[in-house]
Amino acid sequence: MTEQPNAAPIEFHFDFSSPYSYLASERIEALAARHGRSVAWRPFLLGAVFKTEGTQPLTTYPLKGAYARHDIERTARGHGIPFVWPPRFPFLSVNAARLVYWVQDSADPSAGAGDPATPLVHALFRAAFAEGRDLGHAEATLDAAEAAGLDRAAAAAAVKDAAVKARLKEATEAAMARGVFGSPFLFVDGEPFWGHDRLPDVEAWLEAGGW
């Protein structure tokens, strides 16, 4: 299906440290394209949610954590998506998230359809979960930014920029105000879907126009 200029993009909220979000990031564009949609990347910080909800990173729960590790590896294998565990998990994703908003906000609005941060999002996610880099290290994040075509020095300055920092903070608060509590968390025309395992529901929703 061709792009429908009036169709809203699928809003993809995520924290870069979420393995299920990496898996979903590898599948969402093809799914969206099948229904004439684009994807708008909306990184946020899960840590802020954990404080409000009283929850913790998935893998810190004794039984649930062990299952999640197994399920994530099995899901990656089933979809043929390369997957490794980063050396630290969860890792600090704040710089990676800031870069996405910096790229989006500094892009030329007349450049056409599609999220200008798409190559960066994939480069960062793959650095972490396909190559096993630790995005908590500034150098690993900047390596991925450079691989996505960004100027390394400008990217290094951006993650320390007060306005960029504030932008991510606002985005996180805005996401929570809309009910986002986990990652990935998608909105399709305002309808919320949480989790990589809801992608078939997202597709069914787009096909049926809701139910």
Q: Which of 52, 108, 112, 190 binds its own copies (CB under 8 A)?
A: 52
Among 4, 53, 82, 139, indicate the residue that binds its own copies (CB under 8 A): 53
Give the three-state DSSP class for 9.
coil
- Three-class SS state of 136: coil
Applying the rule CB under 8 A, the residues between 135 and 194 that interact with its own copies are 176, 179-182, 192, 194
Residue 120 contacts residue 103 (beta carbons within 8 Å): yes
Q: Binding residue for its own copies (CB under 8 A) from 5, 78, 109, 112? A: 78
| 73 vs 134, beta carbon nearer its own copies | 73
Tell me the closest approach of the beta carbon of residue 16 to its own copies, in angstroms: 20
CB of 199 to its own copies, least distance (A): 10
Beta bridge partners of 191: 188
Which residue, chain included where needed, has tokens 């093809």?
Answer: 30
* Closest C-alpha to 90, from 136, 43, 44: 136
96 to 135: interface string for its own copies, x by CB under 8 A: ----------------------------------------
Give me the residues paired with residue 14 across strands: 43
What is the number of alpha carbons within 13 Å of residue 33 lying toward its C-beta? 7
* Cβ-Cβ contacts under 8 Å for 113 (sequence gap 6 or more): 3, 5, 38
Q: Which residue number, 81 or 147, has a Cβ lying nearer to its own copies?
A: 81
| Residue 58 DSSP symbol | G
Binding site for its own copies (CB under 8 A): 49, 52-56, 61-64, 66-67, 70-71, 74-75, 77-78, 176, 179-182, 192, 194-195, 197-198, 200-201, 204, 211
